Structure 1
Amino acid sequence: MNYTNKKNHGKLIQKNKQDTELKLRSYAFLTMEEMLARLSATQAGLTNEEAENRQDEFGKNVITIGNKNTAWRRLRDAVINPFNVILLLIALITYFTDVVASSKPDYLTVIIILSLVFLSSLVAFVQNQRSNAAAEKLSKMISNKADVRRDGTIINIPLDEVVPGDIVRLSAGDMLPADVRFLMTKDTFVAQSALTGESNPVEKFSDAKNKPDDGLTDLQNLGFMGSDVISGSAAAIVLATGNNTYFGSMAKSLSGDRAKTSFERGVDSISRLLLRMMLVMVPIVFLINAFAKGELPSSFLFAISIAVGLTPEMLPVIMTSTLAKGAVSMSKHKVIVRTLGAIQTFGEMDVLCTDKTGTLTEDKIILEKYMNLHGDDDARILRHAYLNSHFQTGLKNLIDLAIINRAVQNGLKDTLDGYSRVDEIPFDFSRRRMSVVLTDKSGKRQLITKGAVEEIIAISSFVEMNGCVLPMDEENRRIAFSTYEKHNADGLRMIAVAQRNEVPGSGAFGVADERDMVLIGFVGFLDPPKESAKAAITTLREHGVRTVVLTGDSEGVALKVCGKVGVNTSRLITGRDVERMDDTALLDTVNTCDLFAKLSPSQKERVVKAFQTAGHTVGYMGDGINDAPALRQADVGISVDSAVDIAKETADIILLKKDLMVLEEGVIEGRRTFGNIIKYIKMAASGNFGNMISVILASIFLPFLPMLPVQILTQNLLCDFSQMGIPFDSVDKEYIKKPHKWETHSIKSFMTYMGPLSSVFDILCFAVMWWVIRANTAQLAPLFQCGWFVFGTVSQVLVIHMIRTAKIPFLQSNPSMPLFLSTFIVAVVALVTGFTDFAIGLDMHRLPLLFIPWLAVILAGYLLCVQLVKKRYMRRYGEWM
């Protein structure tokens, strides 16, 4: 796209964005009747037939702008790459020299080169197709959904099926499925940071008094795709979906790339290293051959071919197929990867921060006790907790459901008939409580609040004891705390219940009304530890992953549960402690503490950041609204399919089963995947470095080119095909016992050991060809080239088995069958080519049988030396891969 076209394209994008904003803005100022008429909708929602028609008209509710990963693009990328371009250039030159300008046209070399282009492109395309299909299949295993009104009934549908005119119901934890106008709001706070960058949630109103000069995202009755409901509840009508949303219009103009992951940074560092090698190599080889042999065209083609040979052009294919294979394997262990690059980070993780509920516990909260302030059973406490949980409209968590189930079992369902909800004050993580305002049949209003014990006691001025309301003096406070601490120490999760009768008769209710409460009692819950948790934590520890618990629960419950599952409880830090610490003190704390209790969402995020500052790769596992900040901060966010939308959307890894044992299996698969990628990179880097040394020496001392361009490219392609089995290879158990990071220094060290070693045996091969086989004249150059072609190909194939394991190959560690077959087939092809008339097709002479024993001796010596160098390398660096 030239400059003028780019400029016009940019103007078109900007105009579309402005049109989208104007259309959405117009909806904010319409009356309800005007808006419904424009959308051809009603407050009762659409029928299924209307929804299907609109889906045909507007398409799926997905952002497709910028989705360039189409089959045609994958095909283009497979065909058009530096490797194929050089091959086609050489094919063109060969066509003119061997066909057009020759008295005896020879099409064989041209056909072979074009066949190589076809085969390499086909393999790359097929692997990319498989990887893409695997990624799409996995993404369909997890999906966020929306509650919409269809045919007069609220149903749960996938987000991509939402259409303009749908009436959606929203509550805390939901993502806005599209651009909407709010029809009803109740303390609805929405996080718009993904669109606006503002850190604090903004409140939305259905009856907002918008100003004409307000910015689009400041309009209080509009919500936008890409936002999350933090608290409260709402009903809204869908205005626009997919690319027609404000988010969709922004996506069209986004040109900046997201921050690179550690995986991508590692790949970039290796690519830069290999590129520098190539930039040094090409001019040296060209100048040496041009001046020494005086053949500029052939020297130039040779140097370019060497450059291509030094470029690991199969690296994207190997990495993509390895990651895709890893993702599919992880899915069999109920671990779904949303971003392929996260697999490496998952395996690199050495600290796992996790919430307690559902991960270490059964996630089956049971209401165990309902008691007054003396600790005696009192059905009235259960009744008040039941009224609070039933009439709140926000996200009903496991505690609410446990209260409701127990109350229904106790026959309290009829109690609801005597009350109706007037208002509510939703839960948030700073207050750690929620309230409802109810009225009974006599018109009496009552405020009922439940929440964390300390927070409820802080707003209570009175207590109820023995049927009397008494002031909250020190003695009564001591009695209440004593009852709470006794049962909390026994492992019960305690929630306080308070109420207030003197409630204003009208007006909106807010946090300011949660004052002068009467503390009436507690409800206690039991969430027993999982039987598998202790074994999973032990196994993770054996694999170098330290488990740290970050929970909002109280100290007593956290200590009880963590003690039973094997988490180190020798030191416990609370949210209050974290709040008092500066960053330096917190950095020291994370080195010794594995249990943090009563943390707010921002404190969880801060603890995760402290671990990262200390040099750890941190995974965070959570499934609630309060986990979203920590999930974003972590190097790899882990959630579960049953999590709230915000948590799932933020996470990199989704578990289909909320169990640490599942996580441990995923970590192992992540390390296995990373190990196979490192194998290829170390093979490519060391092999290329060795080839660079060999080619320079050969160019200096030989009176002819050590190999022709077509021979180099064919050898390069054969070696790449031999490594196509690497994604399916096994990894030594010792390797997956601990996490591994990208280490460019480690790869450089590996190159300096293995590269020169391969050059030594290349020179031995040169010596045999020169003095034993007598290929020491320009006329016998094709014979010399054939000898090095065979040795170079077979040695690079066999050394794969030496490099892939720190052990003795085949005796102590076996390759996978795909890798064995790919290397075996390529070795056979190289030998057949060199010792038969197939060599002629690559402008070589067939090798005499005399070369076979010499080839065997050189190969055996090379492999033996590799094994000896391997032991020395491991003694010095403590690892092989």
Structure 2
Amino acid sequence: MNFMSKKRLGRQIQENKQDTEVKLRFYAFVAREELLAQLSTTQAGLSSEEAENRQDSFGKNVITVGNKNTVLHRVREAVVNPFNIILLLIAIITYFTDVVAASKPDYLTVTIILSLVLLSSLVAFVQSQRSNAAAEKLSKMISNKADVWRDGKLTEVPMDEIVPGDIVRLSAGDMLPADVRFLTTKDTFVAQAALTGESNPVEKFSDIRDKQDDGLTDIRNIGFMGSNIVSGSATAAVLATGNSTYFGSMAKSLSGDRAKTSFERGVDSVSRLLLRMMLVMVPIVFLINGLAKRDWAGALLFAISIAVGLTPEMLPVIMTSTLAKGAVSMSRHKVIVRTLGAIQTFGEMDILCTDKTGTLTEDKIVLEKYMDLHGEDDARILRHAYLNSYFQTGLKNLIDLAIINRAVQNGLQDMLDAYNLVDEIPFDFSRRRMSVVLADKSGKRQLITKGAVEEIIAISSFVEMHGRVWPMDEENRRMALATYEKYNADGLRMIAVAQKNEVPDSGAFSVSDERDMVLIGFVGFLDPPKESARSAISALREHGVRTVVLTGDSEGVAVKVCGKVGVNNSRLLTGRDIDRMDTAQLQEAADTCDLFAKLSPSQKERVVKAFQAAGHTVGYMGDGINDAPPLRQADVGISVDSAVDIAKETADIILLKKDLMVLEEGVIEGRRTFGNIIKYIKMAASGNFGNMISVIVASIFLPFLPMLPVQILTQNLLCDFSQMGIPFDSVDKEYIKKPHKWETRSIKSFMAFLGPLSSVFDILCFAIMWRVIGANTVELSPLFQCGWFVFGTVSQVLVIHMIRTAKLPFLQSNPSMPLFLSTFLVAVAALATGFTNISIGFDMQSLPLKFIPWLAVILAGYLLCVQLVKRLYIRRYGEWM
């Protein structure tokens, strides 16, 4: 993009942003009645018919930046890459040397080069189209939804179907589906870090509290797409959707280059390595041939052809097709990949941090006990817990549902008619409790609070035992904690219940009212461990993945569950322990601890950072609001389709089934995908390095070129075809037993072993052609070139089967059928070309039949030596691929 284009784009972005700000400011400062009139809506929302009409007018509620998903964009990406650019430059030079400056124009070399570009671009585009279709299909399986008032009733609709004028209901964990004006709020805190960079949540209100000249993001009755509800609840009117939102107006300026993943950095490093090899090789070959043979034009053409032969133009194609095939395969295991590059990181993962609930447990919480402070059953405790869970309007979690189910079983639902909800103080992860204010028929008010035991005890000044209220002295505190610890140690998840009657008769209630409470008892829940969890953790361990539990639950429950599923619980660290540690101490502690309990979201994030600082690739699996910070921090974020919006949006990988066994299958597929990519890269790198040595030796000692440009290009085309089956190849079970990282050093050492070996047998082929076959004059150079063409092509094709496995090929490890067919057909094509008159079309002379046994001997010797070198390499480095 030129300077003027950038300037115009910047001006357009600024104008769009200003228009959006003016519109949102107008909506922020009008009365509610006028707002609804301006939006042509009502408090009861739109009709379905009107919503459809508006979607036709406003379009889908999605932000599009530069239309990167168009067919034209994918064509451009398929054609414009470093390798194709090099090939096109070489084609231009060849056109001038072979056609424009030649006495007899020769179009064959230019045609083959352009065919290479066309072939790689066509395959890349087809794979891109398939990848895009697969990605769209997979993304539909995990689309976020919103609660919207339509036709007078609350309906769940996909977020992209939200239109201006919709009335949405929001609660903790929800993403704001559009720019909205809040109509009602209750302790509504919104995280706006994506827009403002401010880490602390901002409280939002439904009334007008701000001044006209305040910053737009500081206006407290407006919410923005791209933010999410941290706590509380609200209803809101949709003001703008898609590109018309504040986030949409900023999208072009916010869509700069993101940080590259380890996969992208690895591909870049390998590409640079191969390109550097080519840039070093071309001048050397050009100078040697020019000085030795005094044919500078021929030397230039030969050097250019070598450059084409060394260019791994199929690298983008192999990458795209392998990743796309991996994504589709993972989807069959109920694992949806949101970004293709995450597949490699998934396979590289060696630490899996996971929450306990739902992954290690059945996610079916059952209320087991309701007891007073002495541990005796007391139905009054269940009644108070039921009132709290039923009347709270926020996100009803599994604990609330378990309480409601037990109360209904006990026939308590009739008591609800005696109470009205006056107000509530929603749950948040710093307080770890929630409260409701109820009024009975006489108007008497009562505050009922339930939450984490320590937090409830901290706000309680009294205890109730046997119908009497006593001060919360040290003895009563110890007695209450002893009851809690006894049942917690048995594996029950304990929640404390408190209440008080001294509640103000009017006004809004807040956290400050949660004091001087009367602690009345506990409710205990059981979430049994999953039967599959122990075998899944064992399977992950066998594949080199250590499972670490990070939970907000109490120590007793965490220890009990982890013991049953096979997570090491011999050492336990709590949130308090972590707060007392500095970074170095936490990193050292994390090395030996697999169980962290009573953690806040920020503490979970710290633990993930500690593992990363120690050099681990960390996956984090979570599905709650409190999991968003560690999901962002992890190398690969994993969530489930039933997770809250912000968790799904943050994750790289979505599981359609909340089960660690599904995760283990995904890890295996990730490693299989990465293994096939590494196969191609190591083949290309070692083959190119060997060709460099062979060509330099041939250029020094032969009185003619070892191969003509057209022959090199044809050989390159055939070898590219033979590798098309790599993305579909199988991978040895031993390879997927442990994680693998991108290591350029490993690729270089592989080149150093395999490259010179192929050169030794190239030189042996030269000697046989020169002495045995007698192709030792300039006149017989076409025969010599045909011999090396056949040996070079067939050996490169067969060595694929040697390199693809650390075992004996075909005897201990079989290739996939697509790879077998692609290599078999190319080998047959090379032999047919060399031993028939087809060779004449490529300026070669057909080989005599007496070359066949020699060809078989040097091919067998080469493959045998590769197998021997493979063993030496594995003995030295401990791995092959």
* TM-score normalised by length of structure 1: 0.97
Cα deviation 1:446-486 (Å, max 9, x = unaligned)? 11000011110111010110100111112211221121111
Taking the TM superposition and a 5 Å limit, the aligned residue runs for 1:347-746 are 347-746=347-746
Structure 1 match to 2:150 = 150
Pair 1:811-2:814 in alignment: no
Aligned CA distance change for structure 1 residues 82 and 572 (closer, same or farther; 3 Å): closer
In structure 2, C-alpha distance between the alignment counterparts of 1:845 and 1:249, rounded to whole Å = 66
Cα deviation 1:417-459 (Å, max 9, x = unaligned)? 1111111111111111111111111111111000011110111
In structure 2, C-alpha distance between the alignment counterparts of 1:811 and 1:828, rounded to whole Å = 22
In structure 2, C-alpha distance between the alignment counterparts of 1:237 and 1:150, rounded to whole Å = 12
Taking the TM superposition and a 5 Å limit, the aligned residue runs for 1:129-278 are 129-254=129-254, 256-278=256-278
Q: Is the 8 A contact 2:388 2:435 kept in 1?
A: yes
Q: Which amino acid aligns with 1:343?
A: I
Cα deviation 1:672-698 (Å, max 9, x = unaligned)? 111111111111111111111111222
3-state SS, counterpart of residue 173 of structure 1: coil
- How far the C-alpha of 1:717 sits from its partner, in A, is 2.2
Structure 2 match to 1:329 = 329
Aligned CA distance change for structure 1 residues 512 and 863 (closer, same or farther; 3 Å): same
Q: Is the 8 A contact 1:113 1:710 kept in 2?
A: no
3-state SS, counterpart of residue 657 of structure 1: coil
- How far the C-alpha of 1:160 sits from its partner, in A, is 0.7
- How far the C-alpha of 1:74 sits from its partner, in A, is 2.2
Aligned CA distance change for structure 1 residues 287 and 254 (closer, same or farther; 3 Å): farther
| Runs (4+) off by over 4 Å | 80-117
3-state SS, counterpart of residue 725 of structure 1: helix
Structure 2 match to 1:852 = 852
- How far the C-alpha of 1:334 sits from its partner, in A, is 0.9
Cα deviation 1:590-621 (Å, max 9, x = unaligned)? 11111111111111111111111111111111
Aligned CA distance change for structure 1 residues 588 and 517 (closer, same or farther; 3 Å): same
Aligned CA distance change for structure 1 residues 603 and 108 (closer, same or farther; 3 Å): closer
3-state SS, counterpart of residue 879 of structure 2: coil
In structure 2, C-alpha distance between the alignment counterparts of 1:879 and 1:765, rounded to whole Å = 30
Q: Is the 8 A contact 1:14 1:253 kept in 2?
A: no
In structure 2, C-alpha distance between the alignment counterparts of 1:547 and 1:169, rounded to whole Å = 37
In structure 1, C-alpha distance between the alignment counterparts of 2:105 and 2:256, rounded to whole Å = 52
Q: Which amino acid aligns with 1:481?
A: L
Identity %: 85
Structure 1 match to 2:78 = 78
Higher alpha-carbon deviation: 778-787 or 346-355: 778-787
* TM-score normalised by length of structure 2: 0.97
Q: Which amino acid aligns with 1:546?
A: R
3-state SS, counterpart of residue 780 of structure 2: helix
In structure 2, C-alpha distance between the alignment counterparts of 1:509 and 1:63, rounded to whole Å = 39
Higher alpha-carbon deviation: 87-96 or 404-413: 87-96
In structure 1, C-alpha distance between the alignment counterparts of 2:85 and 2:277, rounded to whole Å = 20
Q: Is the 8 A contact 1:179 1:245 kept in 2?
A: yes
Q: Which amino acid aligns with 1:666?
A: G
Q: Which amino acid aligns with 1:257?
A: D
In structure 2, C-alpha distance between the alignment counterparts of 1:165 and 1:611, rounded to whole Å = 47
Cα deviation 1:323-342 (Å, max 9, x = unaligned)? 11111111111111111111
- How far the C-alpha of 1:261 sits from its partner, in A, is 1.1
Aligned CA distance change for structure 1 residues 40 and 758 (closer, same or farther; 3 Å): same
Aligned CA distance change for structure 1 residues 756 and 373 (closer, same or farther; 3 Å): same
In structure 2, C-alpha distance between the alignment counterparts of 1:313 and 1:136, rounded to whole Å = 27
In structure 1, C-alpha distance between the alignment counterparts of 2:655 and 2:596, rounded to whole Å = 23
In structure 2, C-alpha distance between the alignment counterparts of 1:242 and 1:370, rounded to whole Å = 49
Structure 1 match to 2:824 = 824
- How far the C-alpha of 1:745 sits from its partner, in A, is 1.1
Higher alpha-carbon deviation: 574-583 or 522-531: 574-583
In structure 2, C-alpha distance between the alignment counterparts of 1:112 and 1:489, rounded to whole Å = 74
In structure 2, C-alpha distance between the alignment counterparts of 1:87 and 1:355, rounded to whole Å = 51
Aligned CA distance change for structure 1 residues 709 and 247 (closer, same or farther; 3 Å): farther
In structure 1, C-alpha distance between the alignment counterparts of 2:425 and 2:642, rounded to whole Å = 26
In structure 1, C-alpha distance between the alignment counterparts of 2:625 and 2:516, rounded to whole Å = 29
Q: Is the 8 A contact 2:112 2:713 kept in 1?
A: no
In structure 2, C-alpha distance between the alignment counterparts of 1:243 and 1:204, rounded to whole Å = 23
Structure 1 match to 2:52 = 52
Aligned length: 881
Q: Is the 8 A contact 1:109 1:841 kept in 2?
A: no
Structure 1 match to 2:309 = 309
Give ranges in structure 2 of 5+ residues lacking alignment: none
In structure 1, C-alpha distance between the alignment counterparts of 2:373 and 2:558, rounded to whole Å = 23
Q: Is the 8 A contact 1:349 1:616 kept in 2?
A: yes
Q: Which amino acid aligns with 2:157?
A: I
Structure 2 match to 1:341 = 341
Q: Which amino acid aligns with 1:386?
A: Y
Aligned CA distance change for structure 1 residues 639 and 833 (closer, same or farther; 3 Å): same
Cα deviation 1:551-603 (Å, max 9, x = unaligned)? 11111111111111111111111111111111121111111111111111111
- How far the C-alpha of 1:806 sits from its partner, in A, is 0.5
3-state SS, counterpart of residue 739 of structure 2: coil
In structure 1, C-alpha distance between the alignment counterparts of 2:357 and 2:255, rounded to whole Å = 41
In structure 1, C-alpha distance between the alignment counterparts of 2:145 and 2:279, rounded to whole Å = 52
Aligned CA distance change for structure 1 residues 88 and 774 (closer, same or farther; 3 Å): farther
Structure 2 match to 1:782 = 782
3-state SS, counterpart of residue 431 of structure 1: coil
In structure 2, C-alpha distance between the alignment counterparts of 1:474 and 1:159, rounded to whole Å = 52
Cα deviation 1:39-92 (Å, max 9, x = unaligned)? 222222111111111111111111111342422222233345565566666767
Aligned CA distance change for structure 1 residues 705 and 16 (closer, same or farther; 3 Å): farther
Q: Which amino acid aligns with 2:779?
A: Q
Aligned CA distance change for structure 1 residues 470 and 106 (closer, same or farther; 3 Å): closer
In structure 1, C-alpha distance between the alignment counterparts of 2:339 and 2:774, rounded to whole Å = 56
3-state SS, counterpart of residue 874 of structure 1: helix
Higher alpha-carbon deviation: 601-610 or 134-143: 134-143
In structure 2, C-alpha distance between the alignment counterparts of 1:457 and 1:57, rounded to whole Å = 55
Q: Which amino acid aligns with 1:415?
A: M
In structure 2, C-alpha distance between the alignment counterparts of 1:451 and 1:590, rounded to whole Å = 29
Structure 1 match to 2:293 = 293
In structure 1, C-alpha distance between the alignment counterparts of 2:667 and 2:652, rounded to whole Å = 13
Q: Which amino acid aligns with 1:735?
A: Y
Structure 2 match to 1:31 = 31
- How far the C-alpha of 1:223 sits from its partner, in A, is 0.8
3-state SS, counterpart of residue 779 of structure 1: coil
3-state SS, counterpart of residue 779 of structure 2: helix
In structure 2, C-alpha distance between the alignment counterparts of 1:876 and 1:553, rounded to whole Å = 47
Q: Is the 8 A contact 1:433 1:452 kept in 2?
A: yes
Q: Is the 8 A contact 1:90 1:710 kept in 2?
A: no
Aligned CA distance change for structure 1 residues 91 and 304 (closer, same or farther; 3 Å): closer
Q: Which amino acid aligns with 2:759?
A: S
Aligned CA distance change for structure 1 residues 236 and 773 (closer, same or farther; 3 Å): same
- How far the C-alpha of 1:310 sits from its partner, in A, is 1.7
Aligned CA distance change for structure 1 residues 651 and 417 (closer, same or farther; 3 Å): same
Aligned CA distance change for structure 1 residues 475 and 729 (closer, same or farther; 3 Å): same
In structure 2, C-alpha distance between the alignment counterparts of 1:109 and 1:305, rounded to whole Å = 9
Q: Which amino acid aligns with 1:511?
A: V
- How far the C-alpha of 1:351 sits from its partner, in A, is 1.0
Q: Which amino acid aligns with 1:284?
A: I
- How far the C-alpha of 1:103 sits from its partner, in A, is 9.1
Q: Is the 8 A contact 1:109 1:842 kept in 2?
A: no
Q: Which amino acid aligns with 1:573?
A: L
Q: Is the 8 A contact 1:120 1:717 kept in 2?
A: no
